[in-house]
Amino acid sequence: MTDGKQQLDKLIQGNERFASGTPTHPNSGFMRRRETALNGQFPIAATLACADSRVPIEMIFDQGIGDIFSVKTAGNIIDDVSLGSLELGVYKFEIPLLLVLGHTDCGAIKLAVDANRLSGKMSEIIHRILPVVEQVTSENPDIDKDELVNKVTEENVCSVIKEISEKSEIISERVELGTLIIKGGVLDLESGEVEWLD
């Protein structure tokens, strides 16, 4: 078992505790805060998740201070700055696991499904999700709206993972070397469970 798979198991087990209402809140006290302040951070995973306030990464996976190198953008989209942030975490801290996490009832996904172009810089978010909406719609012409939102949420995660792999030599090289694994998932806001994607 690779180190990345061991860390993935930690996140899976932590999410199970969170979803069942039995979190242990590890690494969250004064001593952990002091330890990481004095000795630095050694995160077990890097995550790209949605900026939604209902997606608190450390809580979802029952982790604590210094455990997760967390990047958040609306719709968990990737751009140069968020990709650079992930690269920094992987490069500087030799993080063995990168997780892209979508979630149910995502506002950005819903706006893209409605083809709402928005204004200002917000339009960039929708612009990045629209190709996924178009792909899912063309492959499933009779799909109803709720299912379309769910399917786009999953496919958006997969699309972002593909984009990360294609655009980042730092990340793709580590995947090829076997020192980094990339995983996708979708958080169910109601149950608290993460559905892991293949």
- Note whether 85 and 77 are within 8 A (CB): no
Measure the CA dihedral 12/16/17/19, to 10°.
130
Number of folded domains that form the chain: 1
CA distance 148 to 126: 15
Q: Which of 167, 198, 193, 159 is nearest to 181 (CA)?
A: 198
At 35, give phi and psi (nearest 5°).
-60, -45
Please give the Cα distance from 35 to 38 (Å, whole number): 5
What is the pLDDT at residue 1? Answer: 41
Q: What is the residue-wise DSSP string for 32-47?
A: HHHHHHHH----SEEE
pLDDT, tens digit, 9 for 90 and up, residues 145-198: 999 999 999 999 999 999 999 999 999 999 999 999 999 999 999 999 999 998
Residue 144: burial class (beta carbons within 10 Å; 0-12, 13-18, 19+): exposed
Q: What pLDDT does residue 118 have?
A: 81
Q: Which of 129, 107, 102, 108 is nearest to 194 (CA)?
A: 102
What amino acid occupies position 69?
F
- Whole-angstrom Cα distance, residue 136 to residue 77? 17
Confidence of residue 2 (pLDDT cuts 50, 70, 90): low
For residue 18, what are the contacts with CB-CB under 8 A and spacing of at least 6? 59, 60, 61, 62, 192
- Condensed to tens digits (0 to 9), the pLDDT of residues 96-140 reads 999 999 999 999 999 999 987 788 999 999 999 999 999 999 999
Q: pTM to 2 decimals?
A: 0.95
Report the CATH number at residue 92: 3.40.1050.10
Expressed as residue numbers, the domain containing 27 is: 3-197
